[in-house]
Amino acid sequence: MFSIPEDKKLSIKYPVIFTTAIVISVSVWAIFFRHSSIDEQQTHQVFKGDLVEEIRAHGKLKANTRNSLIALSSGMIEEITLKPGANVVKGQPIIKLFNPKLNRQVEEAKLQLLEEQSNIDALKTELNQAYWQQESSIDIAQSDLSILKADLDAKTQLHEKNIISKLDLHKAKMAYENQKLKIQVAKNKLISMEKINKANLTSHQYKLQRVTSQLEMLKKDLANLVITAPIDGIVLQLNDNLEIGQQIAEGVLLGMIVDNSDLYGEMTISASQADKLQIEQSIAINIRGDHYPASISRISPNVNNGELEFDVVFERPLPQHILPNTDVSGSLQVTLANSTLLANRMPAVNRPYSYYDLWVMNNGEDTMTKTQIQIGAITTNHMEILTGAKESQLLMIPANN
């Protein structure tokens, strides 16, 4: 029996072919895996620019001009003419009160005023009449004095001719001097009467002024029963419990009127970001989806509950439909570094001014190098590259990291 000889060449060739195929497959698979792995990485290209941090703030709109609605007179609510949110002009009625007692007091004060005016008129007539009578008495006394003077002159001549006695001349002189004294007393009485009359009249005039002032105050209290807008603006708020017929005491706060043409923002941020705020720093305020440019006008020196308060003023007046107490948000752009190397922030990079081992690859190449990268400042969207990478290079973290 013959045995078929075995082909040694063929037996050697098959294992070699098989081994080569395995090597080629592994190489292709490795290359494919490497490229697919690179493609799957989140690459971040290094670029040069300004590192800007966005700071978020929240707050409310406030009115610079605010006036309280205060009941200056007590009374019952008769009518509420306007509600919160209504536009008002200065002097427009908002709430009307009613006070019957105050009405009676006004009428009584009017009668008292008429009475005092009548008393003054009567006193003036009485005083004038007494004054005129006194003046008339003086005039009559002056006339009598002239007669006595003529009698004295005549008797003096008769005495010089020894027609009358010295006693008769003396009597004539005494009559004349007595009359002069009476006239002087009457004049003094007239002066005294004038002072007394003036004092009496002044006293009654003071009473008249008091009654007049009282009437004016009562009239003012009566007018204050109509509570009006002290300024142009809107009714920001009224007390929730106001009802028709409710008794309101004097001095009670009833509501608030504000000028909505002059609003500012009262904002807050985290106290950890306080060092990034500056007076006159620009800020964009978001009001119901619309953005309005503003600037910081005040920064509070105090921190409350981990938050810092600051005020902003708008560069132009806000539309009239925007009201105080509206919730708003703000966005500040703070430049941390100028013309520096940047890259989009990687989720795993969260410590500023630290070192990270990252893959670095030149743009357009497939070669990656594991490099220690020094990270600078970090914002929400970007990170600063201090050392380890150049502009246009790509940074990445492998998926298994």
State residue 326's pLDDT score: 92
State residue 29's pLDDT score: 39
What are the boundaries of each domain within the chain? 42-62+260-396, 68-97+228-258, 100-223
DSSP letter at 41 equals S
Q: Vertex 399, ends 354 and 366: CA angle to 5°?
A: 90
Count of residues in the chain: 401
List the one residue out of 310, 313, 381 whose CA is nearest residue 57: 310
Which CATH class for the 42-62+260-396 domain?
A: mainly beta
CATH hierarchy code of domain 68-97+228-258: 2.40.50.100
Rounded Cα–Cα distance for residues 295 and 300 (Å): 15
293: left (phi over 0), alpha (psi -120 to 50) or beta: beta
Q: Tell me what percent of the residues of the chain surpass a pLDDT of 90.
A: 48
> What values do phi and psi take at 299, rounded to 5?
-125, 120
Burial of 255 (0-12, 13-18, 19+ CB in 10 A): buried
> What values do phi and psi take at 15, rounded to 5?
-60, -35
Rounded to two decimals, the pTM is 0.57
CATH hierarchy code of domain 100-223: 1.10.287.620
Kindly report, residue by residue over 279-301, the tens digit of the pLDDT.
Answer: 999 999 999 999 999 999 999 99
State residue 368's pLDDT score: 85
Cβ count within 10 A of residue 59? 21
3-state secondary structure of 264: strand
> 77: which 2 tokens?
């609510």
> 300: which 2 tokens?
């509070």
Contact of 113 with 212, CB cutoff 8 Å: yes
Q: Vertex 100, ends 97 and 101: CA angle to 5°?
A: 115
Tens digit of pLDDT at every position of the chain (401 positions): 333 344 444 444 445 455 555 544 544 434 433 444 454 457 889 999 999 888 899 999 999 999 999 999 999 999 999 998 899 999 999 999 999 999 999 999 999 889 888 888 888 888 888 888 888 888 898 988 899 888 888 889 888 888 888 898 899 899 889 988 988 998 888 888 888 888 888 888 888 899 899 999 999 999 999 999 999 999 988 988 889 999 999 999 999 999 988 899 999 999 988 888 999 999 999 999 999 999 999 999 999 999 999 999 999 989 988 889 999 999 988 888 899 999 999 988 989 999 999 999 887 777 888 999 999 999 888 999 999 999 999 998 865 54
The mean of the pLDDT values for the chain is: 85
Q: What letter represents residue 266's amino acid?
A: E
Rounded Cα–Cα distance for residues 20 and 8 (Å): 19
Adjacent-strand bridge partners of 310: 267, 299
